[in-house]
Structure 1
Amino acid sequence: MKKTLIAAAVVAAGVAGYYFLKPSSATQLDFPELAYIPADTVLMSAQLTPLDIVSYLKSLGLSPEMYLNPEMNEVYSQLAAESSSAGKFGIALLQNYLQALSEPESFVQKTGIAAQTRSLTYMVGAAPVIRFELADEAAFWAMFEQAATNSGLASEQQNLNGHNFRSYSLDEQLAGAQLLVSVERGWGTIALHHSALSESHRAESLALQQPASNLLNSGKLQAMVKQYQLKADGIGYLSTEQLAQALTTTDGNQLARDLQLTFSEGLPEALQVWHTPACQADMAMLSKTWPGLVMDAELVEQAPGKLHMRSKMLFPTTSQIALEGLQGLQGFIPASLNGGLPDSMFYMGLGAEISQLTPAVSKLWAGMTDLSVSCEPLVAVQQQMKAQNPLMMLAMAGMAANGLQGLSVTINDFSLDPATGQPNQADALLTLSADNPQALLTNAQATLPPLAGITLPAAGEEVSVAELFPPVAMLGLDVRLQATDKHLLLYVGEKAKTQAATIAKEPLSKNGLFSFGMDYQQFFSAMAKMSELSGQPLPAELESMLKTNMQMGMSFAIDRHGIVINSDAKVGE
């Protein structure tokens, strides 16, 4: 469990790091390299202002053990021993890059990637492409050649329209597969390609040739930014329209044409059904209703040793029925715990108006099961959904917690007694928000007899929980209970008392589904103390996380466009 938490924290830090950007400029969407991204790409992620990756890595303070510890190296060694030279090449390349990440001072020297770099990730048909701005072209080439030498994989120098590039054969892993590497105009380009694709396709994948319709001349990004109010420092999307074209046609886009090359003996029967007029029409309708995913990023503040960034991930829909159903799922989350930077070690909020779950899900379910479709696979899915209606289960849940609109947990501090392993000091807050807290307690007392003797305090007053519920006295903590007309507040500690007073004044509103926040340094310091009490040695990767001065908050909600995930992260003092 401990290692899982550490791994999750590292991933979260990495995601936040991806969005560390410099201040935006008015010309971002006119960036020339966007002309090399086809307008029909299925997915795209563009960092349009330089990412100061070296500064970010230094701010995290992560040691090499976080990236390459003995356990990870053993896994890599086992994988390499069982792999072909192509597999060994991929593992060696990954290890080289992770080693560079663990040593920010030598990152540029080891990778050739600029300390402050822009980057692009996208698809040219079926070919994934990754591009970085470079500071040292020789070092960039050396990173690949070192991996090839260590794995025994030969590279081939090739020329296309006067431009040199290198090809690494991955034929042992997948027949005809190639990793292409090129350096042009100060950019390093890496593309996973196939020998069956044309020279023109290869030229586009290596950013040597601009597609006729691309993201610079199509106006697609400009329209997306305007429609969804996106920040243009970093922007990305996944297009269901292009996926639908690839699934239902043979030549609707470049991905569809590329896929046909894999079917030398004709389209498999399982895919033929998707190429019917009915499926083409239905999938076009669905992709218009659910366009996919859009992302953005914004730098709030940058100073030496201090980074603050925000980002958004949006799953939009044009279905008013879906929006109404999704909005009905929301409940109340306290404003101070709804995705902002934490003023505590940890917080979590869950918003759900229980009494509205059944009608909200019923509306969503009806919207999906009653949707008029004639595509055979989609009709089959509808039939399966109708046979597995979840409304009865939700109705039972609604009866058990009728009136509940949200709950939250905040942990400011805690410590354990070395002798007993039980909490001997704590500062924490638990809130329950409901239309009628007294009715909620009455329902709980009917199912949990130990709660039968509890009487809520008068509004604005607080009472000792140990007096109401004696088992709490065994903890030795002065836990207090306060009630208002909309909130039950259970807290211990002075900071939690102040936080409870703020939340107690908040009116209920449908403002979110889920929120989470954590102060990395505080959280992992507490984990270190727990590790010491258990008598276990402190893992090297945990020691490294103790140096990570980072706060992060995240929230899930429904806005007027669809499902939105907002994140807020701050690194450094």
Structure 2
Amino acid sequence: MKKLLLAAAVVAAAGGAGYLYQNEVANSSGSDALLSQVPADTLLITYQTKPINYYEYMNAFGTAQQPQMSELFAEEELTPGLEFAVNFLDAYVAASSSPESLKAFMGTGDSVSPVIYTLGFIPVYKVQLENPAALWKTLDEQEQLSGFQHELVKLDKVEYRRYELTESQDKLMGIGLVVAVVDNVLTVTFDIPELGVESPLKLAFGLESPKNSIVDSGRLEALQNKYGASNNSFGIVDIREIIKGLTTVDGNRMARQLKIIESDPVLDQLRSPACHTEFTQIAENWPQMVAFAEYSAGDDKARINGGFVVESKNQVILEALQSVRGVLAESNGEQSMFSMALGLDVATLAPAIGKIWTDLTTPEYQCSILAQAQNDMRGQNPAPAISMGAGMANGLKGLSMEMFGLDVNMNGQYGPELGQLDAIFSISADDPNMLLQTAQMFMPELAQIQIQPDNQPVNIGGLLEPYAGKPMDVFARLNGSHLTLYSGEAAAAASEKVMAQPLTANGLLSFTMDSDRVLEVIETASEVSGEPVPEDVKMSLQGELVGGMALDVTKDGIVFDFDYTSSTKPQVKVAQQ
């Protein structure tokens, strides 16, 4: 199983880019036809309702922005088959430097609509090809370079290439990476001979149809109706099917596959009647995780805007989490290079933790695994300790920091030195003045800060000069809801917005970043320190990635929202000297 997971990671890391062998079996290659081949009991699925430009996506958000696969697996002892796959994927990423080279390498068209799903626990990747011969040629070249060869296998009408990923001498105990093209649809999956009749190869190739497809189940339509709006990319992770696969022997294909290849005491416990019943009840309360996004591109930029929701019907936990939502400071986010905000109503934190703890420890579980976890929790109620700690920050609603710029003085007395910082730090609370007074009790040096809650800026730079080593302007402002500390013009403008913001709960966490501007700051610091910026840091921050994410809780579940824009132009890696 470990080898299968490693093999799956190799393929998934490149978005399923793989190998092919072409066949002529009549099947529609349209997106709807691909989805109709996905069974209703799939553990996960991702798909697009609108094709995306392959080259643009690869350079904006795909693996073209990632380290080489060979670096990711540098600490792993790879079999020849896995090493071949890793090297192939590195070549694939290198080919994304232009639309022409990517199409020549992969054989795809300009736009693609890939589908990823599972047949039991076996992942399947499908994508339409425009010119299979191009990828066939690429694959032959890569085989010649590596000296690693495929095995040609035929299953009914479909011929496919099989790449053995293990070093097993027994073919029945091996794991093969399987590649086929049926009517110009590339299919990448795995072959585990040990599965016998539960091997999903015929389903993966479309030689058999699922008894119940996910399209017929209506779940995709329901997902798009609920989260669709303008979104064109969707995904589901089905927790109920995963639990069914772990707690039964024949409830779905995953269960039947595990019964064949896994003999584990933990699985035996999970399959007991008590564990099956109680884990199923938990899964009904936390049925699935869904993802959705709108992808768009133009003017050398691509944007992906969407969310990820851990859906829940457990209103006790959801209401407890909603009660601790705090204030995320809203300022000049579009101008900042980096920001982070924590929204937390400290006054409700301990009661909320107590409600969650009670909800988790009240049921009398008969399942030994759940009962043991519950017994461990019962002796560790964190609410009292949190209540004591929260008393030190009573009334706190949120913390935030935002950075707009950092100058460097190239003509410093001793060479380049850091200049003016443009940034803001804010505290939102029912009575921020009281929090300041509490902090002054524990940090006597803060007692020098004399400020009234009149919303007027006070320059406290003199207090920081001994630490900064030079004069600097740092201002503090205080009113009945916020305390801000800031320096710089953009931060001063941001403080106006923060100070006027009402104490209305608007989330739990937010984070934004402009990668190019962050890289500028790092390079500025490099000039001052004389230390070069590591190449991998440079590569990870190039690409003009701008955007952020936010964490919140709604009536539907725990929500992660994201919105990112990036350049679709390829990044040129500069060779280290």
Class of the TM-score when normalised by the shorter of the 2 chains: 0.7 to 0.9
Q: 1:89, CA displacement in angstroms?
A: 2.1
Tell me if structure 2 keeps the 8 A contact 1:96–1:143: no
1:192 aligns with 2:190: yes
Which residue is 2:40 aligned to?
39
1:208: how far off? Answer: 3.7
Counterpart in 1 of 2:148?
A: 153
Q: Please, what TM-score do these two structures have when normalized by structure 2?
A: 0.85
Q: Show the counterpart of 1:181.
A: 179
1:425 aligned to 420, 423, 436, which one? 420
CA change 1:219–1:60 in 2 (3 A) is: closer
Change (3 A) 1:545 1:532: farther
- Corresponding residue for 1:277? 273
On the 8 A contact 2:192/2:199 being kept in 1, the answer is no
Inter-partner Cα distance in structure 2 for 1:62 and 1:228: 27
Distance 1:48 1:383, change over 3 A: same
Q: Which residue of 2 aligns with 1:125?
A: 120
Matched, 1:383 2:380: no
Within the candidate set 527, 530, 552, 2:525 is matched to: 530
Summarize the Cα distance change of 1:295–1:543 in structure 2 as closer, same or farther, 3 Å threshold: closer
Q: Does structure 1 residue 53 correspond to structure 2 residue 54?
A: yes
1:466–1:320 Cα change, 3 Å? same
Say if 1:56 and 1:254 are closer, same or farther in 2 by CA, change over 3 A. Answer: closer
Contact 2:70–2:87 (CA<8 Å) still a contact in 1? no
Gapped runs of 5+ residues in structure 1? Answer: 1-13, 16-28
Contact residue 59 and residue 567 of structure 2 kept, 8 A:
no
Q: Which of 105, 111, 127 is residue 116 of structure 1 equivalent to?
A: 111
The Cα of 1:226 is off from its aligned counterpart by: 3.3
Check the 8 A contact 2:158/2:205 in 1, yes or no. Answer: no
Match of 1:452, SS state, is: helix
Question: What corresponds to 2:158 in structure 1?
Answer: 163
Q: Which whole-Å CA distance do the structure 1 matches of 2:331 and 2:555 have between them?
A: 22
- Quote the Cα distance in structure 2 between the aligned partners of 1:106 and 1:387: 61
Counterparts of 1:254 and 1:60, CA distance in 2: 33
Deviation at 1:493, TM superposition (A): 1.1
Tell me the residue number matched to 1:350.
342
The CA deviation string for residues 329-384 of structure 1, in whole angstroms up to 9 with x for no partner, is 321102347xxx64211111111111211111111111111134221110111001
- Over 3 Å counting, the alpha-carbon distance change for 1:554 and 1:211 in structure 2 is same
Task: Report what 2:314 is aligned to.
Answer: 319
Inter-partner Cα distance in structure 2 for 1:357 and 1:146: 60
Distance 1:525 1:545, change over 3 A: farther
Partner AA of 1:289 in structure 2 = N
Partner amino acid, structure 2, of 1:369: T
- Distance in 1, matches of 2:350 and 2:416, equals 42
Moved more, 541-550 or 214-223: 541-550
Displacement of 1:413: 0.4
Distance 1:207 1:399 in 2: 62
Residue identity opposite 1:443 in structure 2? T
**Counterpart for residue 239 of structure 2:** 240
For the Cα contact (< 8 Å) 1:37–1:122, is it kept in 2?
yes
- Cα–Cα, structure 1 residues 530 and 298, in superposed 2: closer, same or farther, change >3 Å? same
Q: Could you tell me which amino acid in structure 2 is paired with residue 449 of structure 1?
A: P
Q: Is the 8 A contact 2:338 2:404 kept in 1?
A: yes
Distance in structure 2 (CA, Å) of the matches to 1:166 and 1:56: 28
Residue 213 of structure 2 is matched in structure 1 by 214
Query: 379-388 vs 133-142, which deviates more?
Result: 133-142
Q: Which amino acid aligns with 1:233?
A: N
- Following superposition of structure 1 onto structure 2, how do residues 75-94 of structure 1 map, counting pairs within 5 Å? 83-94=78-89
More displaced 10-residue stretch of structure 1: 87-96 or 192-201 = 192-201
Find the partner of 2:93 among 93, 98, 118.
98
Query: Secondary structure at the residue paired with 2:109?
Result: coil
Corresponding letter in the other structure for 1:360: A
Report deviation, 1:141.
3.0
Is contact 2:38–2:214 with CA below 8 Å preserved after alignment? yes
What is the match of residue 262 of structure 1? 261
What residue is the counterpart of 2:438 in the other structure? 443
Q: Normalising to structure 1: TM-score of the pair?
A: 0.86
Change (3 A) 1:354 1:424: same
Q: Which one-letter code corresponds to 2:176 in the other structure? A: Q
**C-alpha separation in 1, matches of 2:280 and 2:34:** 30
Q: Larger deviation: 400-409 or 42-51?
A: 42-51
Amino acid at match of 2:157: G
Distance 1:88 1:547, change over 3 A: closer
Match for 2:344: what amino acid? A
CA distance 1:551–1:134, change in 2 (3 Å) = same
Structure-2 residue corresponding to 1:363: 355
Looking at structure 1, the residues matched to 284 and 416 of structure 2 have their Cα atoms a distance apart, in angstroms, of 56
Q: Which amino acid aligns with 1:185?
A: D
The alignment yields a C-alpha RMSD, in angstroms, of 2.9
Task: Return the alpha-carbon distance in structure 2 between the equivalents of residues 445 and 137 of structure 1.
Answer: 70
- Cα distance in 2 for partners of 1:316, 1:568 equals 20
The aligned residue for residue 3 of structure 1 is none
The whole-number CA distance in structure 2 between the counterparts of 1:519 and 1:384 is 43
Whether 1:410 and 2:402 are equivalent positions in the alignment is: yes
Aligned length: 535
List alignment gaps of at least 5 residues for structure 2.
1-13, 16-29, 569-577
Distance 1:157 1:469, change over 3 A: closer
Moved more, 96-105 or 352-361: 96-105
Aligned to 1:26: none
| Whole-angstrom distance in 2 between the partners of 1:336 and 1:310 | 21
Instruction: Give yes or no for contact 2:64–2:93 (8 Å, CA) kept in 1.
Output: no
1:144–1:367 Cα change, 3 Å: farther
| 1:431 maps to amino acid | S
Q: Is the 8 A contact 1:342 1:551 kept in 2?
A: no
Note if contact 2:465-2:471 (Cα within 8 Å) is conserved in structure 1: no
Work out the CA distance in 2 between the residues paired with 1:491 and 1:260.
Answer: 61
In the TM superposition, residue 519 of structure 1 has moved relative to its aligned partner by 0.9
User: Deviation at 1:306?
Assistant: 2.6
Stretch of structure 1 that moved more, 205-214 or 516-525: 205-214
Deviation at 1:76, TM superposition (A): 6.5
Please tell me the residue identity of whatever aligns with 1:294.
V
Report percent identity of matched pairs.
Answer: 29
> Is the 8 Å Cα contact of residues 45 and 236 (structure 2) preserved in structure 1?
yes
**Are positions 1:290 and 2:286 aligned together?**
yes
Cα gap change, 1:352 to 1:43, in 2 (>3 Å): same
Worse overlay, 104-113 or 551-560: 104-113
Mapped to 1, the partners of 2:72 and 2:224 lie a distance apart of 43
Q: Secondary structure at the residue paired with 1:526? A: helix
Task: Describe the superposition over 1:220-260 as per-residue Cα deviations: whole angstroms up to 9, x where unpaired.
Answer: 11123334567651111111101111111111001101111
* Equivalent position of 2:448 in the other structure: 453
Distance 2:468 2:84 in 1: 61
- Work out which of the residue numbers 271, 296, 309 in structure 1 matches 2:304: 309
- In structure 2, distance between residues paired with 1:344 and 1:560: 31
Offset at residue 142 of structure 1 (A): 3.7
Quote the offset at 1:148 in angstroms.
Answer: 3.8
- 2:554 paired with 1:556: no
